[in-house]
Structure 1
Amino acid sequence: MSLDTMKTVKNCPKNEQEWNQRAELKNCSQFHQSCTDKSNFRYHCLPNTVLQTLVEVCAPMIHASEYCCEFNSQGALVQRNYKADCRNHSQPCTNSYPSTEIFRYQECYAMNSQVAVKVGVGVDKSKNKGSGIGFGFVIPLGILIFCSILLISGWIYIRKRSNDNQHDSRHNTDEHMDETTIKLNPEDDKFYKINLW
């Protein structure tokens, strides 16, 4: 059910008031789900490491400790990001905090350097449905591979033609230049073959 509620956003709330306003707009209690108690199915705004963006989503709340939270769209769950330790932030996270209070730790939105999540950057999910590998990566890679194959094939073709032409011209020259017939004595009717090569 969480994936059905997921929407990419350009930024996440910066304080409790903004969080509560966005949570009210999202209205997670309207969604019928069976994964948790209705009161635990809550609004979240979190980095999504799969889509490399920020997402608003309704999901079961977790208690995080020492690490920033993230939404894993492949597992459809809120989880700790063990690559994002928040204990040394300017506003360090507590030993245990509810995932619905991540707005208190704004650096968590910007520190996911392994996925280049930045505050203020987002993608519209409706334009990017799929397995998590965007067309922005697959299409240029395919074009690069195609052009490389084309370039290598062209180079091989030109080299082959060049070698064939050199061989043909040498072979033709050899046929015409191997022997020559000359008359040594003008008064004599005898011709002699001389090898020039």
Structure 2
Amino acid sequence: MKSYYYNIALFAFVGNFLQNLESVMYSLPDTAKVVESCPRSQNEWMERSRIKNCSSSTHPNISYHCVLNEWGNASVEVCAASRVLLYGSCAEYNFGAKRIQSSSIRRCSSSNPPCPKVYNSSQAYMYQTCYHVIASNISHNTSKSESHSSSGLCTAEVAVISISIIILAIIITTTVCIVLKRKLCLSFKRQLDECQTPCMDNNKDTHSNKQLIK
């Protein structure tokens, strides 16, 4: 029974040790951050490395990296251990595995300049073809956003014009109705006055005749 608990404790210790070892060997996951673009030269790489300050980590073999994500549609800055990349693949950071690895969907062996069959991940900036797809996606999204903004502006302008026309039509219609109503009232009053005048004259004549008869 004691050996059973001993084995469980041993496995737990080994598992925890391997997990910590993997973290030391591969990357510092908390430093992984999606960025708009990666450095395009060694000088820019060094400058971004200084800002990221991966050297302040107590973990050995950790250095600055800016590579693709595992889907190849975004750039990721991360403090990670350098890896040897094989098969002329671009470098990528796998968030699940928490490490730099060879991309299975992006190749740079036919780029200009082409990457060698084997190279270090810290040289990823030398092969800009790996990042071209991301750059084109950003450009496309920016154009799409601008197009939507312009479309939204046009829609707003049309709405304002339409509302203005409706308000103007209501004002004109109301004014016309008021004017017509006044004209009709004046005409009706005039006719009423014309009708009342003969009636009053007839009443006067009738009254005079009655007096004469008396």
Q: What TM-score comes out, normalization by structure 1 length?
A: 0.52
> Residue 135 of structure 2: SS of its match in structure 1?
coil
Confirm whether residue 106 of structure 1 aligns to residue 128 of structure 2.
yes
Unmatched 5+ stretches in structure 2? 1-26, 139-214
Which position in structure 1 is the counterpart of 2:49? 23
* Contact 1:48/1:54 (<8 A) preserved: yes
Task: Please state how far the C-alpha of 1:75 moved relative to its aligned partner.
Answer: 0.9
Task: Please state how far the C-alpha of 1:99 moved relative to its aligned partner.
Answer: 0.3
Q: CA separation in 2, counterparts of 1:3 and 1:17?
A: 25
Task: Please state how far the C-alpha of 1:60 moved relative to its aligned partner.
Answer: 0.7
Task: Find 1:118's aligned residue among 129, 132, 135.
Answer: 135
Which position in structure 2 is the counterpart of 1:41? 62
| Larger RCO (CA within 8 A; separation ≥ 6) | 1
Task: Please state how far the C-alpha of 1:80 moved relative to its aligned partner.
Answer: 0.1
Q: CA separation in 1, counterparts of 2:55 and 2:79?
A: 9
Which position in structure 2 is the counterpart of 1:13? 39
Which position in structure 2 is the counterpart of 1:68? 90
Task: Please state how far the C-alpha of 1:51 moved relative to its aligned partner.
Answer: 8.6
Give the alignment of 1:97-176 within 5 angstroms: 97-111=119-133, 117-118=134-135, 121=138
* Contact 2:72/2:92 (<8 A) preserved: no
> Residue 55 of structure 1: SS of its match in structure 2?
strand
Task: Please state how far the C-alpha of 1:91 moved relative to its aligned partner.
Answer: 1.1
> Residue 57 of structure 1: SS of its match in structure 2?
strand
* Contact 1:7/1:55 (<8 A) preserved: yes
- Residue-by-residue CA offset, 1:34-65 (whole Å, 9 max, x unaligned): xxxx2x21100011135941111000100113
Task: Please state how far the C-alpha of 1:9 moved relative to its aligned partner.
Answer: 0.9
> Residue 100 of structure 1: SS of its match in structure 2?
helix
Aligned residues: 112
Q: CA separation in 1, counterparts of 2:73 and 2:29?
A: 15
Task: Find 1:82's aligned residue among 97, 100, 104.
Answer: 104
The change in CA–CA distance for 1:24 and 1:80 in structure 2 (over 3 A counts) is same
Task: Please state how far the C-alpha of 1:85 moved relative to its aligned partner.
Answer: 2.0
> Residue 102 of structure 1: SS of its match in structure 2?
helix
The change in CA–CA distance for 1:81 and 1:51 in structure 2 (over 3 A counts) is closer
Which position in structure 2 is the counterpart of 1:139? none
- Residue-by-residue CA offset, 1:99-138 (whole Å, 9 max, x unaligned): 0111000011124xxxxx33684xxxxxxxxxxxxxxxxx
> Residue 34 of structure 2: SS of its match in structure 1?
strand
Structure showing greater Rg: 2
Which position in structure 1 is the counterpart of 2:144? none
Unmatched 5+ stretches in structure 1? 112-116, 122-197
What's the RMSD between the two structures over aligned residues? 2.2
Q: CA separation in 1, counterparts of 2:115 and 2:72?
A: 24
